[in-house]
Amino acid sequence: MSTVNKKKAVILLSGGLDSATCLAIANKQGYACYAVSFDYGQRHKAELLAAKRLADELGVEGFKTIRIDMDGIGGSALTDDSIAVPEGGVAEGIPVTYVPARNTIFLSLALGWAEVLDADDIFIGVNAVDYSGYPDCRPEFVSAFEKLANVATKKGVETHSLSIKTPLIDMSKADIINKGISLGVDYGLTVSCYQANDAGEACGKCDSCRLRTEGFAAAGVPDPTRYR
């Protein structure tokens, strides 16, 4: 199928394991993929370089990085250096690594680009199985945002066609990894660590590192992560 005849989709690409798999799935489904990353003041800037590598490696029709001043708001260990990233495992409740309203903001900007591109679908790699308890990773949130998209935009009002795709929502981390391997994803290109250094080397202690390490072990796949 030529690019002209392909359906267009906007893919949220953070540079991590889940979003890389999400992009590979969208590619496999035949979409013309437009990937977007967000420089939102996160302490793990290495993921932005990883996102660009993945966009080049997996193939996209367009790629952009949008700057958002969420570090000016703070309130999260990922955007405020005065709040330590937890290293002792998942705590009860919503952790301090939750970034206030992050996925709502990300999806809103992706929605705007989708309107410009005349794309019906937005892919986001949220997961409600092996995740850190963020409220904006739940099916309820995704469903609510999809309804919003179809009443808050010109495209939605005229076509009622906007859809938020979450292919990883019910998958374990091991299932996600095995899916990505089957699609040719090189997870050595990805960065998941909440406090990765500038070289992309992981701490091996934060929640994201723990979930990633356990996922590779459960999948029976060698872990390509570079640890400090």
pLDDT beyond 80 at 89? no
Residue-level pLDDT at 88: 82
Query: What pLDDT score was predicted for residue 197?
Result: 95
The pLDDT of residue 19? 98
pLDDT recorded at residue 108:
98
CB 36 within 8 A of CB 64: yes
For residue 74, pLDDT over 60 is answered with yes
pLDDT band at 49 (very low <50, low <70, confident <90, very high): very high
For every residue of 66-124, DSSP letters joined together read EE---TTT--STTT-TTSPPP-S-PPSSS-TTPPTTHHHHHHHHHHHHHHHHT--EEE-
Per-residue model confidence as pLDDT tens digits over 204-216 = 999 999 999 999 9
When the pLDDT of each residue in the chain is averaged and rounded to a whole number, the result is 94
Q: Which CATH superfamily is domain 3-219 in?
A: HUPs (3.40.50.620)
Domain segments of the chain as ranges: 3-219
Neighbour-count burial for 115-128, b at 16+ CB within 10 Å, e otherwise = bebebbbbbbbbbb
Nearest to 36 by CA among 66, 57, 59: 66
